[in-house]
A and B are shown apart, each in its own frame.
Chain A
Amino acid sequence: MKVTGQTWEYENKPVIIGTGTIVGPEEGEGPLAEDFDYVYDNIRINEKTWEKAERRLLEEAARKAAENAGITEDEVQFFVGGDLMNQIISSSFAARQMGVPYLGVFGACSTSMESLAVASMIVDSGGAKYVMAGTASHNCTVEKQFRYPTEYGSQKPPYAQYTITGAGCSVVSDQGDGPSITHATIGKVMDLGIKDPFNMGSAMAPAAADTITKHFKDTGRKASDYDLIVTGDLASVGLPIAKDLLKQNNVVMDGTIFDDCGLMIYDLTKQKFVNAGGSGCGCSAVVTYGHILKRMRKGELKRVLVVATGALLSPLSYQQGETIPCIAHAVALEMGG
């Protein structure tokens, strides 16, 4: 593995040989519904508590990913996972069920790419043959932990984002069919003073812009080398801010499609309740593992850069008036490379 600045270049090109994506009913009504492995028709995911529901999503996504990779869950040598719950209980409890060696990671909504970067590093360095990366989020667990009870009637501002209900897992291996992971750029924590916990897009945009800038600098690549660059999840407020920041930094974003997972998962004109768009650990995971990788396998996309962003706040920190530190990790995927 070559290291340049903040970027790892995986020389052995680990491959994503299988993915599993499970989502809730609202994501099932969005434009990407067809791309997910399973859509639950109830937000309770047939469980008694929200926390159990989130865990079940992750367990089932993991099972599905192993199945699609053509291996059994026992063959997974390491599971790298995280989520938004305090003490990342969803991942740890899912790992208990899986019974495989486990590394818990936390990067808020950037966990999807953080776990994939770590899993790829393990495989690339010869540390294992099959490593699973995964994360999950549930709208109601997040509302309960970070905001208000789910049934509480408080009006959300138009720039608020909607945490998606879903889980995405991938199996990374040293060989096999599928898109390979070529680079990962590990982000720095950025904080430009946003305090409003509803205003995630504004808080996270600088982290995304910074990581994209570093990625191009470290790899010598430019935007037009990618067919698609997606952030996750800046939504309708953060994405234009990130575009502005990149322009201001003289980073040319021409010759590619620059989109956001939080905008792709919902139909913003029909699903008004999502306000600015989707968010949550699961969002960039299910959009990447479900939608983007499917398009790559079909040959519609060759090179993709996924820049997952995370807001590293806690309910305590914002109640104490602290600003919101944010991070973004970028992973470069390539088909047939």
Chain B
Amino acid sequence: MSDSNQASQSSLSQMSSDEYKAIAKKHEPSRPVIRNCIRAFLVGGLICLIGQCIQEFFMSVFDMTTKEAASPTVAVLIIISVILTCFGVYDKIAQWAGAGSAVPVTGFANSMCSAALEHRSEGLVLGVGAKMFKLAGSVIVFGTVAAFIIGIIYALLGFGGRG
């Protein structure tokens, strides 16, 4: 018994990372990618559909143009997302919907609101103010950088600019 244990010990400590990962892989359930894609498509689409309805509402009731209605539409979506976050519902939707609830503007609002709520306990300045952009910060940074690069490409190729 102890002999076999002796042998076994060395086999465990000598096992390479790749060998181990092959054993572990057998027992790890993989992410349900197809199901996630379908759900993301449905929920993402639904959020956009709701957005469209809100926009149509502003256009018909307040007589706004498409462009004018855009900002209040986004604001309403953000408010809905923040309310759902505060009631502890948005994260539950997200577990089901995956990217469907993360990609639209509501996901961005959720990332800021959840961080602000979480770090309220560290005060307004060091907590809410400083930590609110913990997750949204990189979206803003890389979104701006990407927009800058695309803008330059656009200008260089000559089909952008003030047109």
User: Which residues in A have some Cβ–Cβ distance to B below 8 Å?
Assistant: 48-51, 144, 148-159, 190, 192-194, 199, 201-202, 205-206, 209-210, 213-214, 216-217, 220, 222, 237-238, 240-241, 244-245, 248-251, 273, 276, 323
A152 & B114 in contact (Cβ 8 Å cutoff) = yes
Of B20, B97, B99, B134, most A-chain CB atoms within 10 Å: B20
Identify the closest chain A residue to B115 (Cβ).
A149
Q: Which 7 A-B pairs have the closest CB atoms?
A: A153-B94, A249-B8, A193-B17, A149-B118, A151-B114, A192-B20, A149-B114
Which of B24-32, B62-70, B141-149, B155-163 is found at the contact surface with chain A? B24-32
Q: How large is the interface on B (under 10, 10 to 19, 20 to 34, 35 or more residues)?
A: 35 or more
A153 & B21 in contact (Cβ 8 Å cutoff) = no
Return A244 CB to nearest CB of chain B, in Å: 6
Return B33 CB to nearest CB of chain A, in Å: 11
Which of A153, A240, A273 contacts B107 (CB under 8 A)? A153
B102 & A159 in contact (Cβ 8 Å cutoff) = no
In the assembled complex, B95 has its CB within 8 A of some CB on chain A: yes
A193 & B20 in contact (Cβ 8 Å cutoff) = yes
Return B131 CB to nearest CB of chain A, in Å: 8
Cα distance A110–B47 in the bound complex, in angstroms: 43
Using A148-B114, A155-B94 as known contacts, say yes or no to A216 and B11 having CB atoms under 8 A apart: no
In the assembled complex, B121 has its CB within 8 A of some CB on chain A: yes
A241 & B27 in contact (Cβ 8 Å cutoff) = yes
In the assembled complex, B85 has its CB within 8 A of some CB on chain A: yes
Which residues in A have their C-beta under 8 angstroms from that of B34? Answer: none
8 sampled A-B residue pairs with Cβ under 8 A: A149-B119, A152-B118, A152-B135, A192-B15, A192-B21, A217-B5, A222-B1, A244-B27
B95 & A155 in contact (Cβ 8 Å cutoff) = yes
Which of B97, B102, B118 contacts A151 (CB under 8 A)? B118
A237 & B91 in contact (Cβ 8 Å cutoff) = no
Identify the closest chain A residue to B120 (Cβ).
A49
A273 & B95 in contact (Cβ 8 Å cutoff) = yes
User: Which residues in B have some Cβ–Cβ distance to A below 8 Å?
Assistant: 1-2, 4-9, 11-13, 15, 17-18, 20-21, 23-24, 26-32, 36, 85-86, 88, 90-91, 93-95, 97-99, 101-102, 107, 110-111, 113-115, 117-119, 121, 134-135
The main secondary structure of chain B at its interface with chain A is helix
A153 & B93 in contact (Cβ 8 Å cutoff) = yes
Identify the closest chain A residue to B106 (Cβ).
A153
Which residues in B have their C-beta under 8 angstroms from that of A213? Answer: 5, 8-9, 12
A213-B12, A245-B23 are known contacts; what are 9 more A-B pairs with Cβ within 8 Å? A150-B118, A152-B135, A153-B93, A153-B102, A158-B30, A193-B17, A214-B9, A237-B29, A248-B23
A158 & B32 in contact (Cβ 8 Å cutoff) = yes
Which residues in A have their C-beta under 8 angstroms from that of B101? Answer: 153
Which of A159, A206, A217 contacts B20 (CB under 8 A)? A206
Which residues in B have their C-beta under 8 angstroms from that of A248? Answer: 8, 11, 23
A251 & B13 in contact (Cβ 8 Å cutoff) = no
Cα distance A152–B153 in the bound complex, in angstroms: 35
Cα distance A220–B29 in the bound complex, in angstroms: 36
Return B130 CB to nearest CB of chain A, in Å: 14
B9 & A193 in contact (Cβ 8 Å cutoff) = no
Return A165 CB to nearest CB of chain B, in Å: 15
Cα distance A158–B97 in the bound complex, in angstroms: 14
Using A51-B121, A144-B118, A249-B5 as known contacts, say yes or no to A151 and B91 having CB atoms under 8 A apart: yes
Cα distance A125–B145 in the bound complex, in angstroms: 64
Cα distance A193–B107 in the bound complex, in angstroms: 33
B2 & A217 in contact (Cβ 8 Å cutoff) = yes
Return A132 CB to nearest CB of chain B, in Å: 28
Using A155-B94, A193-B21, A237-B27 as known contacts, say yes or no to A210 and B12 having CB atoms under 8 A apart: yes
Which of A144, A153, A241 contacts B90 (CB under 8 A)? A153
Which of A50, A201, A240 contacts B121 (CB under 8 A)? A50
Which residues in B have their C-beta under 8 angstroms from that of A154? Answer: 91, 94, 102
Which residues in A have their C-beta under 8 angstroms from that of B28? Answer: 159, 199, 202, 237
Return A80 CB to nearest CB of chain B, in Å: 28
